[in-house]
Amino acid sequence: MIKIKYSLKEFHPENRMNIVLFEPEIPPNTGNIARLSAATSSGLILIGKLGFKLSDKYLKRAGLDYWPKTDLLYLEDLYTLWNSYPKERFHLITTKSKVLYTQRSYKLGDFLIFGKETAGLPADFLLNNFDRAVTIPMPGKIRSINLSSSAAIVTYEALRQNSFLNKSLKNSVGKADNVF
């Protein structure tokens, strides 16, 4: 069983990016995003009705041994998170926006909110907060790209804007010296 580490009061979103999954349905996607979260020191927040149990073997397999290194929070509903932090800290990732994710400025402590694989974010929530929406361009004739791919694309852009990647590379130099 994967353990939820924090309550909302204990969760500290500042000084990192925070990946939010609203009602994720596919265990391997969530497991891959948990690995992304651990690799980037980002928080991971699961919200609402999950399409799997936290004991799911595919979820565990996709996250491998990174689950204990993932700062994980579960919330019953999206509005609990939304009402707990300033609105400018939220970025809604959707196929419905015309604003590219690269046109948005991100700060450490921001929340990158992704909707469920089959339906995205709730229509009323998205409509009421459309000024916070961004998209990943997809010139091909497809509906959307995989959730874990989307999370990686936007998370690394947000971290790049905050020079996080340069700091991380300096800290990791020498860790793989004995590989070759």
pTM over 0.95: no
Domain count, the chain: 1
Report if residue 177 sits inside a domain. Answer: no
104-122 pLDDT per residue, tens? 999 999 999 999 999 999 9
CA angle 166, 10, 124 (to 5 degrees): 85
Report if residue 114 sits inside a domain. Answer: yes
pLDDT band at 179 (very low <50, low <70, confident <90, very high): very low
Residue 108 belongs to domain with CATH number? 3.40.1280.10
pLDDT band at 172 (very low <50, low <70, confident <90, very high): low
Strand order from edge to edge, sheet including 133-134:
71-75, 43-47, 18-22, 111-114, 90-93, 133-134
DSSP state of 6: B
38: Cβ–Cβ under 8 A, 6 or more apart, which residues? 66, 67, 69, 70
Report if residue 1 sits inside a domain. Answer: no
Report if residue 76 sits inside a domain. Answer: yes
User: What is residue 56's predicted lDDT score, i.e. its pLDDT?
Assistant: 58
Contact between 97 and 129 under an 8 Å Cβ cutoff? The reply is: no
Which one has a higher pLDDT value, 170 or 35? 35
User: What is the extent of the structural domain holding 124?
Assistant: 18-172
Spatial distance between the Cα atoms of 97 and 85, rounded to a whole number of angstroms? 22
Report if residue 9 sits inside a domain. Answer: no
50-73 pLDDT per residue, tens? 888 777 576 666 656 777 788 889
Report if residue 5 sits inside a domain. Answer: no
